[in-house]
Structure 1
Amino acid sequence: MKTLFTVAVFIYCFLPGFISMSDTSIQDQPTPIIFIYDASGSMWGEMQGKTKVEIARDVLSETIDRFSESQRIGLVAYGHRKEGDCQDVEYLVEASNKSHELVKNHIAKINPLGRTPLAYSATKVIEKLQPGGEKATVILITDGIESCGGDLCSVIQEARAAGIDFRLHVIGFGLTDENLGPLKCAAQAANGKYYDAGNAAEFSSVLEEATAQTIDVSDYNLAVYTTKNGAPIDSWVKVLKTGTEFETGGTRTYRDTGFAAIDPGIYDLLIQPLENSDVAAQMIREVEVGKEKLTFRSVSFDAGQIMVRTLMNGENWDATVNITLANESRSASGGRTYGRDQFYDVSPGLYNIELKCLKINGAQTQKVINGIEVTSGDTTRIEYNFQTGIARIGVLGQNGLMDATINIIDKSTMQSVGGGRTYTSESSNPKEFLLTPGSYSVTLVGVREFKGEKKTFDMKIDPGGTLEKSIQF
């Protein structure tokens, strides 16, 4: 009797996604999953304050906890016993194992030391998968490329040509684009997918998808490719029951083609571009998906950019940005400039922009710019200079600096726009205010021994000017 195996080989790259599985027999009798675990020395590198080996241990253990009790799990590690040994590959847990705790305990004890023999690791797993014998899903996780002279893609291609039936997913952890060719080649050769991840959240998401796409899952019957202004873009793809918001499956493109295996039928596809883009999602309605034929859709997110620069008296200055469609009130994009040029990706159209200058007071801290046209592939540049002046208000009593409260009223609106307290310290008395140009009324009220005493005066602030005023009680 043949035994079906799912072999998972891990190469650290994290990408999220999900795909529907309708065959309940898969859930009842899942094939084993074998993880090939990267224990090379580079796993001690850090991401977001944690070592990659810590992230891998935590995320992999959490993923295993979500498996059904009937899920068999094997574990292979490389680089964990000897430095510089290109044959340091060990089967730690056989694929017939059903103890999740056993796998997690082995993962917790692995101490990364050595090199990255990807091809040799895959060979040791494939040796157990003879033609006409065990099936497997191989998920390969690594934070580095082949370091022992092997050719991973050739190993996978030769095994498939020999009739060994397995699926290979590759997960890359923090790899650069120029290193991905052999890894993508290997995954594609075995009807799998390459995933990339740069942090723990992405690793968790992509690992969830990879472990769902085992050899048990039928071949993909839906593929989606997305671009923005001609270049590939990462996008979420949600498969919805036609005419509803009920989600039946989906995938993620990761700047490549996203694949999904779903029940035959007619669906709506909701496609949302990622990569910090505010380009509007697209809905493709009534897409017919068959059982055997691959349904392919290519979606173009043509976008333009709005560059926003905010200044104060000619110097770069921080401001908030709210971008809305000209005929709508809801925000289409926005953020904060932090005194630097900021770029916002939006769909072509007509927009209004509201800027609010920070750390200044007065009636002119906001500016609305209407009717900004954005076209595909172009950058529309918006620059606005807020003008201010400085008011330094000191309060003196009979014995020197005096503690008092200050309330500043903008005479054009009769609204309070600033205030504070002088105390009796030279660091706060006189107290400085950054105000927009205009006329103001100032009220001073004494504190402590001068409690209840009040003085008022008017002042005018000019653009770029400085007004110094000392009031004697």
Structure 2
Amino acid sequence: MRAVVVLSLVFSFAFQGKGQAKEDLSPIIFIYDASGSMWGQLQGKSKMEIAVEVLSSSVNALPDAQKIGLVAYGHRNKSDCKDVEFLVEASQGTKGAITTALQTIKPLGMTPLAYSATQVIEQLRTSKTKATIILLTDGIESCDGDICRVVAEAKEEGIDFRMHIIGFGLKADETEQLKCAANAGEGQYYDASDAGALGTVLSEATSETVDKPKGNVSVYAVKNGVPIDALVTAYDQVAKREPISVRTYRDTAFFYLPPSKYNLEAKPLEGSDVNMITVSGVQSFDEKIIHQDLGFDGGKVRLTTTNNGANWDCLVKVLDQSGKVAATFRTYDAPKEAEVNPGIYKVTIQAMRIEGVNTYAEIDSVQIGGAAVTPLAYEFDSGTAFIDAQVNGGSIDAVVTVSEVKSGKNVAGGRTYDRGKEFLLNPGTYSVKIAPVGVHKDKSAQTITIEVKKGESTSKTLNF
């Protein structure tokens, strides 16, 4: 199931400046994992140390007007599934109070995700306050709770909150219930594998508060059927607003675009070799959600090269519009495919073994679409010419030079080595010079003209 996510990478805190009254901003309440597993090591530090440092830094970066609360679980009793404590009340929370409280927490107990969420939601129910809840956990539920059900039921009841969940060092198969809960809470599930990633996702989570409009445009990035992480930036083509961005995290991502027409630019973030893609003319509305799939699927070109109707070995290059080589391959006497980014290309083909003035070809303006195969074919023509030099009825060694008459271009050459020499040539008229070497090098060279026809063989013997 695709988790619904609400995320903008544009950290628009300008409206939350120091002069703004606290009552204008809904609280952010952090639920902090203080279970025993937080003593686990990452990058030479315990996860507890990393989390305290990064969370403290993220809290200090929040606007001065932001109300902040802190709830911890698992820090007082080793086996208590109800060990949840409100360390800093959001109504009076300050940055200093949060950072001080974080320093006092020592991981010890269980991971009651559902119960801790229930306690925070109950406080919102009682106070009739809306809030952003950010849950940081390094483990899955250990107390038989169902956090997804807890969050979904609270939303059905009408309690106003947005819930983001950060999985710190979790495995892929441990995230399903957390993604479900973030989805139900109209928030985002984030993976954080180290300190850097934790800082990044905390910045993003704290910027996507319950005070922001719900997403009205969803995007999903995929390559060859597999979702990928991509940064999607929307450019307003009408009102020319500042660009608005969202990160997909290998899932469906929602962001709010004020009603207008946008161009979307999507850039892969996973070391992929595919290029940025652009989708034009995306219209957003306040009253409905618009979805846009972003396909990074490579397109394939399938090339069949033949000579006189038979499959032929050729060296092939696929060049993008800037002239950069996107793919290169040899056909080796069989049709071959190459995958490239969707776009318009030039394909160059160099026939192997054939000699003449028509051994190279270019096919321009080849449109290659994503997740599609574009078939191409090119046919070369050739005939054979056998050249032999003899003295007294016996073959001798000689140097042979072949030039195309019309262009005057030297196209082939070789030695007969006392047995004659065969050339595979494009159809045409050729000037052939034969110069004896070795014991017969004193004999004068001879030049003849030959006609090579498609699919036919011609043979010439010169007597010296």
**TM-score of the pair, normalised by structure 2:** 0.62
- In 2, distance between residues paired with 1:68 and 1:256? 29
| CA–CA separation in structure 2 for the residues paired with 1:244 and 1:221 | 17
Matches of 2:325 and 2:43, distance apart in 1: 31
CA contact (8 A) 2:262 2:282 kept: yes
Higher Rg of the two aligned structures: 2
C-alpha distance in 1 between matches for 2:339 and 2:66: 44
How far the C-alpha of 1:297 sits from its partner, in A, is 0.5
User: Out of 188, 198, 206, which is 1:203 matched to?
Assistant: 198
Alpha-carbon distance change, 271 to 348 in structure 1, aligned in 2, over 3 angstroms: closer
1:244-283 C-alpha deviation (Å, 9 max, x unpaired): 9985211111111111123222221110122110201111
The equivalent of 1:142 in structure 2 is 137
Counterpart secondary structure, 1:216 = coil
In structure 2, the residue matched to 1:282 is 277
How far apart are residue 286 of structure 1 and its match? Answer: 2.6
Paired residue secondary structure (2:123): coil
Contact residue 21 and residue 262 of structure 1 kept, 8 A:
no
Distance 1:154 1:243, change over 3 A: closer
1:129 alignment counterpart = 124
Within 2, Cα distance between the matches of 1:263 and 1:78?
39
- Following the alignment from structure 1 to structure 2, what is the Cα–Cα distance between the partners of residues 292 and 270? 24
- Residue number in structure 2 paired with 1:213: 208
Residue of structure 2 in register with 1:74 after alignment: 69
Would the alpha carbon gap of residues 22 and 167 (structure 1) be closer, same or farther in structure 2, given more than 3 Å must change?
A: same
Q: 2:236 aligns with which of 229, 237, 241?
A: 241
**How much does 1:304 deviate?**
7.1
Aligned to 1:112: 107
Deviation by residue 1:164-193 (Cα, 9 ceiling, x = unmatched): 221111111122222222111111112112
Task: Mark the CA change 1:51 to 1:261 in structure 2 (over 3 Å): closer, same or farther.
Answer: same
Q: Pick closer, same or farther for the CA change 1:261–1:376 going to 2, 3 Å.
A: closer
2 CA distance for matches of 1:19 and 1:292?
A: 23
Q: 5+ residue gaps in structure 1?
A: 1-14, 306-322, 334-343, 353-370, 379-473
Give the letter for the 2:39 counterpart. Answer: W
Distance 1:199 1:160 in 2: 32
Partner of 1:18: 9
Aligned with 1:37: secondary structure?
strand
Aligned 8 A contact 1:70 1:98 in 2: no
SS of equivalent residue, structure 1 residue 285: strand
Superposed CA deviations along residues 388-410 of structure 1, whole A, max 9, x for unmatched, are xxxxxxxxxxxxxxxxxxxxxxx
What is the aligned partner in structure 1 of residue 80 from structure 2? 85
CA gap of 1:230–1:293, structure 2 versus 1, over 3 A, is same
Q: Distance in 1 between matches of 2:44 and 2:266?
A: 33
* SS of match in other structure, 1:271: strand
**Correspondence for 1:338:** none
Q: Using the TM superposition, give the Cα deviation of residue 217 of structure 1 relative to its aligned residue in structure 2, in angstroms.
A: 0.8
Contact kept, 8 Å, 2:81 with 2:112, in 1: the verdict is yes
Q: Larger RCO: Structure 1 or Structure 2 (Cα < 8 Å, ≥ 6 residues apart)?
A: 1
The equivalences for 1:361-400 within 5 A come to: none
CA distance in 2, matches of 1:115, 1:53: 15
Q: Of residues 58, 62, 65 in structure 2, which corresponds to 1:63?
A: 58
Q: How does 1:284-433 map to 2 (within 5 A)?
A: 284-303=279-298, 325=319, 328=322, 347=341
CA distance in 2, matches of 1:22, 1:70: 11
Q: 1:86 to 1:244 in 2, by over 3 A?
A: same
Q: Which residue of 1 aligns with 2:148?
A: 153
Instruction: Give the stretch that moved more between structures: 111-120 or 131-140.
Output: 131-140
Match of 1:257 among 224, 247, 252: 252
Distance 1:98 1:80, change over 3 A: closer
CA distance, structure 2, for counterparts of residue 32 and residue 183 of structure 1:
22
Classify the secondary structure of the residue corresponding to 2:118.
helix
Query: Deviating runs (4+, > 6 A) in structure 1?
Result: 243-246, 349-352, 373-378
Between the two proteins, the alignment pairs up a number of residues equal to 321
Measured at CA, do residues 351 and 108 of structure 1 come closer, stay the same or move farther in structure 2, by a change above 3 Å?
farther
Q: 2:96 aligns with which of 75, 98, 101?
A: 101
- State the Cα RMSD in Å: 3.5
Q: Secondary structure at the residue paired with 1:292?
A: coil
How far off its partner does 1:128 sit? 0.7
Q: Look up the match of 2:312.
A: none
In structure 1, the residue matched to 2:27 is 32
CA distance in structure 2 between the aligned counterparts of 1:328 and 1:217, rounded to whole angstroms? 42
Q: 2:189 aligns with which of 179, 194, 211?
A: 194
In structure 1, the residue matched to 2:163 is: 168
What is the Cα deviation at residue 199 of structure 1? 1.7
Partner residue in 2 for 1:178: 173
Report the alpha carbon displacement of residue 22 of structure 1 after superposing the two structures with TM.
Answer: 9.3
- Which runs of no fewer than 5 residues in structure 2 stay unpaired? 1-5, 301-316, 328-337, 348-362, 373-464
CA offsets per residue over residues 431-471 of structure 1, 9 Å max, x none?
xxxxxxxxxxxxxxxxxxxxxxxxxxxxxxxxxxxxxxxxx
Are the aligned partners of 1:131 and 1:165 in contact in 2 as well (CA < 8 Å)? no
| Aligned-residue offset at 1:144 | 0.5
Structure 2: how far apart are the matches of 1:376 and 1:222?
23
Counterparts of 1:292 and 1:161 in 2: how far apart (Å)? Answer: 20
Distance of 2:269 and 2:101 partners within structure 1: 36
In 2, Cα distance between equivalents of 1:157 and 1:144: 21
Asked if the contact 2:318/2:325 (under 8 Å) is kept, the reply is yes
How far did 1:328 drift?
3.9
**Secondary structure class of the residue paired with 1:77:** strand
State the AA in 1 paired with 2:296: F
Residue 310 of structure 1 corresponds to: none
